[in-house]
């Protein structure tokens, strides 16, 4: 058992350190990268403290303090990282220290404790940690609840932002929503599994084998996906990313102070919108944003979104994709010789990926583009044979 614990613990600690170093030594890292490094490092610190406590290689009371403070900061850092990727936060502001109030308070208490005479310190330790099992049980419960609060707040924030983003972008891949959602829901799944295991089992098997293995899978996946989804920014890339999602922030700001359109104004603006879409075909632009159309029509973002919602009963994303799908259908119906590749048809209609084209086409038409084309060819063949 000791050998298995040694291998898993050393591997866990070593890989967390390696992943963090790989990120840290990239040139001109933006602030979100350093927050991500902290999020990946915390499981490594937890594994290290558990390992040292298991072998009693260091004062276990100090290790408990270090582990408690480390895990206590996990929720706030996750919340900050989410806000940064959603474009709601670009710098670390002093008011964010309030999120770490429990950690700061805990540090003050520890400093006060160690400022006391040795005899009083020992008395407090003997009384407070008289039943270590119950102490660990309650501390895990407190840490779990505190972490869950930040996790749920972050998930709600992402889901609300996604709903608003559909009003602003024709392509949601502009904002890192897919990566953020995967990150948060995987964090939730790990927490839902880890907290009961830690509280119910609470032994070396759970703390030094089961949980480290789960955390290894989690951190490797998050590291890979952060690279794969372009969420590891340098300063220039982060500035570009913030500029790309600026319309989202502007839309949310306008929402606070907007005046509602009359029915006549709404109808008139909607006709102008349809005329623009039919004449200039802006929906062919894969990265089309609500702000681009609002600028052309000389209207605010929120008023334009309101018109689309009211007149078309759609959000901006659905409205744009409706035109793209109509155009794709026309091309598919003409392509009776199957000369065009399906993905090229999607690109020609403004979709930025093959998977996105397939997904939206199937949702709208209840069949894939290839199946639709084949069925259309068959129908034409039947009609010609009848004639």
Q: How far is CA 101 from CA 5, 97, 140, 312, in A?
A: 35, 7, 18, 47
Distance CA 62, CA 47 (A): 15
Q: What is the pLDDT of residue 111?
A: 85
Ordered domains of the chain (ranges, CATH): 2-244 (1.20.1070), 257-386 (1.10.10.60)
Distance CA 375, CA 174 (A): 34
Could you count the other beta carbons within 10 Å of the beta carbon of residue 18? 12
Distance CA 211, CA 204 (A): 10
The pTM for the full model equals: 0.83
Q: How far is CA 210 from CA 44, 65, 185, 206, 299, in A?
A: 14, 22, 20, 5, 57
Distance CA 180, CA 182 (A): 5
Checking 361-368 for CB contacts under 8 A at 24+ apart, the result is 361/325, 361/328, 364/321, 364/322, 364/325, 365/325, 365/329
Q: CA-CA-CA-CA torsion for 249, 89, 224, 39, nearest 10 degrees?
A: -150
Distance CA 119, CA 160 (A): 54
Helices and strands in the chain, H and E counts? 19, 0
Distance CA 376, CA 357 (A): 19
Q: CA-CA-CA-CA torsion for 43, 47, 48, 49, nearest 10 degrees?
A: 100
Structure tokens at 153: 């707040």
Strand segments, DSSP code E, in the chain are none
Distance CA 147, CA 139 (A): 12
In eight-state DSSP terms, residue 81 is H
- Print burial letters for 130-168: b (CB count within 10 Å at least 16), e (below 16): eeeeeebeeebeebbebbeebbeebbebbeebbebbbbb
Distance CA 65, CA 49 (A): 10
Distance CA 23, CA 31 (A): 12
Looking at the DSSP bridge assignments, the partners of residue 176 are: none
Using an 8 Å Cβ cutoff, are 112 and 186 in contact?
A: no
| Mean pLDDT (10-residue bins), the chain, 387 residues | 84 91 90 93 88 71 81 93 90 88 86 79 64 60 86 94 89 84 90 72 71 87 89 89 86 69 88 94 92 91 89 92 94 85 92 91 92 86 65
Phi-psi label, residue 230: left if phi above 0, alpha if psi -120 to 50, beta otherwise: left
Distance CA 305, CA 322 (A): 16
Using an 8 Å Cβ cutoff, are 301 and 251 in contact?
A: yes
């Amino acid at each position: 058992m000791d050998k298995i614990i040694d291998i898993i613990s050393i591997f866990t600690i070593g890989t967390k350190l390696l992943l963090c170093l790989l990120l840290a030594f990239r040139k001109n890292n933006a602030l979100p990268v350093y927050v991500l490094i902290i999020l990946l490092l915390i499981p490594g610190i937890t594994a290290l403290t558990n390992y040292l406590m298991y072998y009693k290689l260091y004062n276990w009371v100090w290790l408990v303090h270090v582990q408690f403070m480390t895990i206590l900061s996990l929720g706030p850092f996750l919340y900050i990282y989410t806000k940064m990727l959603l474009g709601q936060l670009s710098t670390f502001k002093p008011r964010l220290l309030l999120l770490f109030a429990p950690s700061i308070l805990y540090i003050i208490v520890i400093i006060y404790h160690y400022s006391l005479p040795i005899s009083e310190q020992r008395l407090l330790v003997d009384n407070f940690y008289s039943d270590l099992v119950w102490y660990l049980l309650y501390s895990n419960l407190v840490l779990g609840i505190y972490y869950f609060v930040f996790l749920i707040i972050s998930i709600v924030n992402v889901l609300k932002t996604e709903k608003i983003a559909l009003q602003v972008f024709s392509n949601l891949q502009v904002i890192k929503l897919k990566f953020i959602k995967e990150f948060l829901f995987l964090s939730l799944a790990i927490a839902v599994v880890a907290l009961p295991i830690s509280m119910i089992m609470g032994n070396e098997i759970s703390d030094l084998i089961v949980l480290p293995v789960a955390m290894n899978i989690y951190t490797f996946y998050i590291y890979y996906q952060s690279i794969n989804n372009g969420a590891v920014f340098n300063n220039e890339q982060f500035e570009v990313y913030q500029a790309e999602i600026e319309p989202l922030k502007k839309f949310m700001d306008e929402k606070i102070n907007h005046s509602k359109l009359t029915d006549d104004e709404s109808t008139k603006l909607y006709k102008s919108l349809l005329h623009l879409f039919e004449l200039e075909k802006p929906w062919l632009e894969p990265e089309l944003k609500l702000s681009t159309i609002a600028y052309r029509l000389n209207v605010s973002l929120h008023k334009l979104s309101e018109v689309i919602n009211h007149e078309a009963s759609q959000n901006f994303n659905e409205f744009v994709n409706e035109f793209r799908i109509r155009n794709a259908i026309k091309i598919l119906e003409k392509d009776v010789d199957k000369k065009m590749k399906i993905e090229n048809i999607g690109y020609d209609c403004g979709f930025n990926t093959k998977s996105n084209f397939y997904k939206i086409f199937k949702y709208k038409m209840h069949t894939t583009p290839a199946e639709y084309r084949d069925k259309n060819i068959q129908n034409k063949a039947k009609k010609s044979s009848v004639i």
